[in-house]
Structure 1
Amino acid sequence: MTSDFARVISTLTRPDMIDVADEQVRGLKSRIPQLTHQARQISPEFSADFTQVLANLARQYTEKSILLKSNARKV
């Protein structure tokens, strides 16, 4: 069980996996203005919350990515 867990963690924290996830987050960040515009058409109140949620998710992921990359280098 422990070796399976270690293998999963090792795979998820490989630098190439982190790079793929980083690329996806950059794609999301670049689409935030478009997604916000679409949300604003649905509901102005919703769009502000939606934009904040997307920005927070992108920020949190970026912080975790930096930590994962740092830890992956130590292993």
Structure 2
Amino acid sequence: MSDHAYDISYLLEAEMTTVEVPAAPVQKAPPARPLPSPVAAAQEVLARELMQAAAAHEALIEQYLRTAVVSPSGESSW
């Protein structure tokens, strides 16, 4: 092959053409909402169940205190 095939001097000597591209207007998007973590979802469910269990436990304590008969000496009838 000849050296002429690899001659790129015409490219170097050519004037660079630039194309004016209008800048796109910058639009601020609202921040993306973070996806809930599966761990956080499980913790939320467990917290709700714990609050329900606490309410049931409190109801049982109140029921016990209503039904427990305490004698004047401080002893219960149980």
TM-score category, normalised to shorter length: 0.3 to 0.5
**Structure (1 or 2) with the larger CA radius of gyration:** 2
TM-score by length of 2: 0.36
Q: Which has the higher contact order (CA 8 A, sep 6+)?
A: 1
